[in-house]
Amino acid sequence: MRVGALNIVLSFYSFFLSILYVPVFFNGATNTRWIWLALTTPILILCLEKQKFTLLHFIGLLFLLLSCISLNWTFNLYDSIEALIKLLIIAQVFVLGSKLKDLRPIFIGLAIGITISNFNLPSGLFVNKSMLGEAALLTIIGLFIYNLWWFIVPVVPAAILSGSRGVVVGFLSALVAYTWNKNKAIAILLIVLILSFVSASFALNIGVGSIKERIDMWVDSFKAFSFWGNGIGSFHAAFPYYSDNIDTLKYRPTYAHNDLIQIMFEIGVFGLILAITFATTLLKTNSNEKYIIIAFLVMAQFSFPFYMPVSVFIFTLVAGHMSRNWNCLFSEAPTGRVLRMEGV
């Protein structure tokens, strides 16, 4: 396969991911996307050359191993197996990202797909407006990094009109990080402006709905923390047992709306350490892709992008791509593939 052909395949791969929605299917906006990733990613991985095994691969593998072990003490085995399957899909996307030399076609495909969602805002083909907003923001940052200016314009309405506060905070964090590298004085001024804006919105009680519920949820989740965690994917099953502040008969959360808290809840101290190590290792690099990682990590403090197929796809693909900057942990792997993609 030639480079041009591969780029077209990758664009279609990400394009279909961003438009897949089957209304008659249960959870038609998320399950169909997980299925698409599960079916197509292994084929792409097999078609590309083998890559080196880096420190990031090792941390990811440990996280996967710990998640598997946590099946032994989980609250609900069925939920845990489902979460583990999704984690394996995410791991595949990471491996694919580490094999790709250029992510431009991926972001072009995503931009075209998200543009289609503009016809039915605020949620479009993502059903959930936060899910659309998060995917749109990460795509915009990716397009910005790769200088694909013309594709940014049609994606912007999806990010703005989704009305997600997490998206705004994620964008501002990436902007501050970018400005910090260029001019620290302007970055500090920006931080002061953002903090005053946040304080004003709290004082005037504008846009602060559901914050109390989230804090209640986090407080209840803290009570459930244990050294080994409650098992991967157990948040939904175990939360009512520990909850004191939320009427679980009216509202039973599936996600903690803070991915670090959820990882601590499910996989325990080691899971949290591995997740933080993974993130900090990624942020050490000087590549521009780190702004996507920053935006994702900030949004993950108020929402659950790690559990949504498109946003976690962008994050892990970029993380995998960034792992190319790291040295191989072991000796170089021999390449023995039948299909080679020279120059890709």
Partner 1 sequence: MKYFKLSKEYYPFDYHFRIVSSIELSKLAINNNSMEYAIKALPVLNNALIIDGYSPELLGPAVIINYGVGNVKEAKQYYLLFKQTAKRSNFLDFMKGQLQ
Enumerate binding residues for partner 1 (CB under 8 A): 26-27, 75-79, 81-82, 85, 236-238, 240-241, 243-250, 252
- Which residue, 237 or 293, has its beta carbon nearer to partner 1? 237
- Which residue, 72 or 196, has its beta carbon nearer to partner 1? 72
- The minimum distance between CB 239 and partner 1, in angstroms, equals 9
- Which residue, 156 or 246, has its beta carbon nearer to partner 1? 246
| Range list of H helices, 48-164 | 55-69, 77-99, 104-117, 129-145, 149-161
Residue keyed to tokens 């097999």: 46
- The minimum distance between CB 248 and partner 1, in angstroms, equals 5
Closest CA to 19 of 158, 166, 161: 158
CA distances (Å), origin 63, targets 148, 215, 249, 263, 292: 34, 27, 33, 10, 22
- The minimum distance between CB 246 and partner 1, in angstroms, equals 6
- Which residue, 74 or 139, has its beta carbon nearer to partner 1? 74
Residue keyed to tokens 């942020």: 283
- Which residue, 19 or 237, has its beta carbon nearer to partner 1? 237
- The minimum distance between CB 94 and partner 1, in angstroms, equals 23
- The minimum distance between CB 218 and partner 1, in angstroms, equals 16
- The minimum distance between CB 284 and partner 1, in angstroms, equals 37
The long-range contacts involving 59-62, CB below 8 angstroms and separated by at least 24 positions, are 59/274, 59/277, 59/278, 59/281, 60/91, 60/94, 60/278, 62/274
* Dist. CA 290–CA 304, nearest whole Å: 19
CB 332 within 8 A of CB 51: no
CB 150 within 8 A of CB 326: no
Query: Which residues in 204-219 are b (16+ Cβ under 10 Å) and which e?
Result: eeeeeeeeeeeeebbe
- Which residue, 196 or 248, has its beta carbon nearer to partner 1? 248
Provide the angle, in degrees to the nearest 10, between the axes of the packed helices 3-19 and 104-117: 30
- The minimum distance between CB 104 and partner 1, in angstroms, equals 36
- Which residue, 37 or 152, has its beta carbon nearer to partner 1? 37
